[in-house]
């Protein structure tokens, strides 16, 4: 896992419709805006002094992961992840400023002090917890998709080409592990096609350049729904794990975000946002820190 309605759709523009490409610009949701409460003074006191003084949280996001995080027609970061974090920022009385960046550059920029947080469907795992702390707020699995009519078994994909986004758990763990098993069984390895954005990985399958794609379950479900019949699920979700908001170790920001997100769960705002986007399957009732560890 990467562990993303105004939402992007596949093949919206005329030119893209001819090629079957994915477009991340056109909204399709009619869910409307979810209103949340205002600043909570007690929660705001939990913020690090530097953030409280600046009045902003600098957030890194790879906006290619619809419907979690993606860019609207104006190039702004949108998605249910963004809606949730905006609600958190509102509770804390600050503004979230989204810096669009490559997925695999976000954690280094958090540890380097450029970003305060990373909101980009990060899977909380023990390796990542060595670098940053995570506020765990959602549960997602891995789900493959293949071209409609093409049967692909994720547990028997030896010799196939599988598209993934660079830096995701799909690229670092899922496909390499399955490929290693193929080789051990005397079969051909899986060919991993890496792309900078999930939209490109999805397009590779739509265009016939890859036999399948592997991504987080909300992303794959969304891609299938928006593909106009070009994609189908390949198997079922597996390896369910938490999504986490990444924060630098030693920062008090993790506790401030955790308690603010829990307040959103408790007052119903969290559920309303997930319902708006149709992603309630992974909802949590308790917001935790570093659940993988």
Answer whether residue 289 shows pLDDT above 90: yes
pLDDT confidence of 226, banded at 50, 70, 90?
confident
What is the predicted pLDDT for the residue at 38?
A: 85
Q: What percent of the chain has pLDDT over 70?
A: 87
| H or E segment and range at residue 231 | strand 231-248
Asked if the model's pLDDT at residue 70 lies above 90, the reply is yes
Number of Cα atoms under 13 Å in the Cβ half of residue 237? 16
Written as six digits, the tokens of 220 are 């794959």
CA 144 to chain centre: 15
- Residue 79 confidence (pLDDT) above 70: yes
Are 290 and 42 within 8 A, CB to CB?
A: no
Reply yes or no on whether the pLDDT at 217 is more than 80: yes
Q: Give the pLDDT confidence score for residue 27 in this predicted structure.
A: 31
Mean pLDDT of 101-107: 94
Average pLDDT over residues 119-133: 94
Nearest-angstrom CA–CA distance, 160 and 152: 9
Average pLDDT of the residues in 53-67: 95
pLDDT of the residue at 256: 98
| Confidence band, pLDDT 50/70/90 cuts, at residue 281 | confident
**Of residues 221 and 154, which shows the higher confidence score?**
154
Calculate mean pLDDT across residues 183-204.
96
Q: What is the pLDDT of residue 1?
A: 56
Q: Which residues pair with 244 in a beta bridge?
A: 122, 136
Q: Are 120 and 61 in contact (CB under 8 A)?
A: yes
What integer pLDDT is reported at residue 278 of this predicted model? 78
Return mean pLDDT, the chain.
88
Judged against a pLDDT cut of 50, whether residue 15 lies above it is answered with no
Buried b (16+ CB within 10 A) or exposed e, 244-280: bbbbbeebebbbbbbbbbbbbbeeebbebbbebbbbe
Which range, of 7-21, 231-245, 247-261, 267-281, averages the lowest pLDDT?
7-21
Question: How far apart are the C-alpha atoms of 286 and 293, rounded to whole Å?
Answer: 16
Give the tokens for residue 32. 């409307």
Query: In the prediction, which pLDDT does 20 show?
Result: 35
- What was the pLDDT predicted at 33? 59
Closest CA to 11 of 229, 235, 193, 271: 229
All domains of the chain in start order, with CATH: 9-140+241-289 (3.40.190.10), 142-239 (3.40.190.10)
Give pTM, 2 decimals.
Answer: 0.74
pLDDT for residue 29: 35
The region of weakest confidence among 29-33, 129-133, 206-210 is: 29-33
- pLDDT at position 225 is 83
Report the range of poorest mean pLDDT among 33-42, 46-55, 105-114: 33-42
Q: What is the pLDDT of residue 203?
A: 95
Residue 35: pLDDT band (50, 70, 90) is: low
Please state whether the peptide bond connecting residue 258 to the residue before it is cis, i.e. omega within 30 degrees of 0. Answer: no
């Amino acid at each position: 896992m990467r562990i993303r309605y105004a939402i992007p759709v596949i093949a919206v523009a005329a030119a893209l419709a001819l090629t079957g490409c994915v477009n991340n610009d056109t909204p399709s949701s009619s869910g409307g805006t979810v209103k949340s409460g205002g600043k909570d003074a007690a929660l705001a006191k939990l913020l690090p002094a530097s953030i409280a003084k600046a009045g902003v949280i600098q957030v890194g996001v790879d906006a290619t992961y619809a419907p979690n995080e993606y860019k609207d027609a104006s190039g702004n970061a949108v998605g249910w992840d963004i809606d949730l974090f905006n609600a958190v920022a509102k509770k804390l009385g600050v503004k979230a400023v989204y810096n669009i960046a490559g997925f695999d550059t976000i954690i280094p920029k958090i540890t380097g002090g450029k970003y305060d947080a990373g909101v980009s469907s990060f899977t909380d795992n023990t390796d990542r917890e060595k670098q940053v702390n995570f506020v765990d707020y959602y549960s997602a699995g891995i789900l493959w998709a293949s071209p409609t009519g093409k049967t692909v078994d994720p547990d028997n994909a030896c010799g196939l080409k599988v598209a993934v986004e660079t830096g995701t758990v799909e690229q670092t763990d899922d496909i390499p592990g399955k490929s290693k098993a193929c080789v051990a069984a005397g079969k051909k390895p899986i060919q991993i096609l890496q792309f900078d954005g999930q939209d490109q990985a999805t397009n590779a399958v739509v265009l016939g350049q890859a036999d399948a794609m592997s991504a987080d379950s909300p992303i794959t479900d969304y891609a299938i729904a928006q593909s106009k019949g070009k994609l189908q699920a390949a198997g079922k979700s597996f390896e369910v794990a938490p999504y986490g908001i990444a924060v630098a170790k030693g920062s008090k920001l993790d506790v401030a975000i955790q308690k603010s997100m829990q307040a959103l769960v408790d007052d119903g705002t969290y559920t309303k946002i997930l319902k708006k986007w149709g992603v309630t399957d992974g909802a949590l009732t308790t917001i935790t820190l570093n659940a993988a560890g």
